[in-house]
Chains A and B, each alone.
Chain A
Amino acid sequence: MSNRLQTLSLTLILALVSIGARAERAECEPAVDMIESNDAVNRISECDYRDEGLNGWLANLGGSDEPRSADTAPANITPTSQEAMGEKGFGFKQTVSDPLSLVQARYSIAQQAAARCAPRVANLVTEAYKSDKQGTVLVMQFRCDGESDD
């Protein structure tokens, strides 16, 4: 076994020499690996597997007309709440915890604002970010085209 320890040590030295060659790109590993990790219960919301691999195949089975998960509000972020903004404006906020949920939250809020103002145009007045224990709170405030403060 001492030879094996020497083999391990030699490999270690060779590996250390090559360090720095590449940096690991942060991305979601397969779901089966994520759920085996030590902090799995806190990582479930980090990656959206609904369109990945077999889940994507099942979601599209039978030619479903339902939108893909990337087009819908993320299921595991805080439900949208609405905030009043003056008399005529309106706003939304959502807590996001990763880049994907931020993109999805922005799309979801924009969709809701456009629907609310239709057939007029929803103008984005402010977009703000606030730190929160759960992550980052995205706040977006809108005004329908033609509305004013007075």
Chain B
Amino acid sequence: MQKKILGVAALALVGQSAGAVTLYGKANVALQHADEAGDREIELQSNSSRIGLMGDNAIAEDVLVIYRLEYETSVDDGDKDGQTLTQRNIYLGLQTRYGTLMGGVYDSPLKTSASKVDLFNDLEGDIRNIFAGENRSKNVVQYVSPKSWGPLTAKAAYVTKETDGIDGWSTSLAYDNNGLYLAAAVDRDIEENVEDQKTLRLVSSYTLGAVMLGAAWEKYEQQTNEGNGYFASLQWKLTDKWIFKTQYGQSDIKVEGRETFSIGGDYKFDKRTRAFVYYTNNEDDVIRDDNYLGVGMELKF
């Protein structure tokens, strides 16, 4: 009991004494029926539930130190790779009028370029089923262009891969204005222990009223494998409460003839809380023919 009180007191200090600290996160849990090539199970899934701290500290006029410390936790069984909390995006950076320079563990520019269009992100229908390049690299130094660039955001990350000695890089250029989002991103030697890896990704989305359309195309190469794929998504806000969404993708990047199809809906209780239902089919010409039907809930803060 005493430990709990101390814990709450520590959190209270975070919330009070450091004004620019924001505690954020989400709990996302779903109950799904999984049919993986005939092997059927009822599963409780924690879909990348996380907790994090972010904030800034002004050290001079127009100079901010920014930080983000984010950890994943498993709502379903409390075990994430043998640990209670695992590291996600973590960085410390310096922000000036010329841009932001930061170091840490961070999603690559190529990965974040597609965050708008993947409507079943963190679920069984995640874009990672068909696309390569969903990397959160370690030992990254990244530059992000300043806000004064307006609708343009440029990113360049240098990955000092200490494991295989081959350093990699990832860059992206995105345009986001009046509902139109366009992005191009390139990775080189980001993946560990893979030689001559190169990934090119193009992403676009357009929001018009209640409808958002998304599309992406990717080409992937490495020493022993290459392929390309495409992806399309649609989100339709039927009312203030109900959202319909669906997406489809096909690629031979990971496995020959892989396809993913998802359809589902959200019911928004408020800005932070939603219930959702989904159906996903992932199949390919080699190993998979998986179906998932699930219902879940998400609380964001």
Q: Interface on A for B, CB 8 Å cutoff? A: 1, 4-5, 7-8, 11-12, 14-16, 18-24, 29-33, 35-39, 41-42, 44-45, 49-50, 52-55, 57-59, 61-62, 64, 66, 69, 72, 75-76, 78-79, 81, 97, 133-134
Contacts and interface: CB of A to CB of B under 8 A. Distances in A.
B54 A44 contact: yes
Contact of A75 (B56, B246, B247, B250): B56
Interface residues of B, number: 66
A50 B213 contact: no
Contacts of A69: 19
A95 B133 CA distance: 39
B115 A53 contact: no
A41 B144 contact: yes
B141 interface: no
Given A1-B261, A19-B210, A38-B176, 16 more contacts: A7-B246, A19-B209, A19-B211, A21-B210, A24-B210, A24-B237, A29-B271, A30-B301, A32-B52, A35-B24, A44-B54, A44-B55, A49-B22, A55-B22, A58-B11, A134-B148
B102 interface: yes
A76 B208 contact: no
> What are the 7 A-B residue pairs with the smallest beta carbon separation, nearest first?
A58-B15, A31-B24, A30-B300, A42-B147, A75-B20, A53-B301, A39-B153
Interface of B: 8, 11-12, 14-16, 19-20, 22-26, 50, 52, 54-56, 58, 61-62, 64, 66, 68, 70, 93, 95, 97, 100, 102, 112-113, 115-116, 144, 146-148, 153, 172, 174, 176, 183, 207-211, 213, 232, 234, 236-237, 244, 246-248, 250, 259, 261, 263, 271-272, 281, 300-301
A41 B263 contact: no
Contacts of B116: 37-38
Grouping DSSP codes into helix (H, G, I), strand (E, B) and loop, the B interface class, with mixed when no group exceeds half, is: strand
B58 A8 contact: no
A131 B104 CA distance: 34
22 contacts: A7-B246, A8-B246, A8-B247, A11-B236, A20-B208, A30-B272, A32-B24, A36-B115, A37-B115, A38-B174, A41-B66, A53-B272, A53-B301, A54-B15, A55-B15, A57-B15, A59-B15, A61-B15, A75-B19, A75-B20, A76-B64, A78-B62
Nearest to A16: B211
A50 B279 CA distance: 37
Contacts of B14: 58
Contact of A39 (B23, B95, B97, B144): B144
Contacts of B301: 30-32, 52-55
A60 B236 CA distance: 38
A38 to B, nearest CB: 5
A30 B22 contact: no
A15 B68 CA distance: 38
A12 B247 CA distance: 11
A100 B278 CA distance: 37
B210 A38 contact: no
B192 to A, nearest CB: 24
Contacts of B8: 61
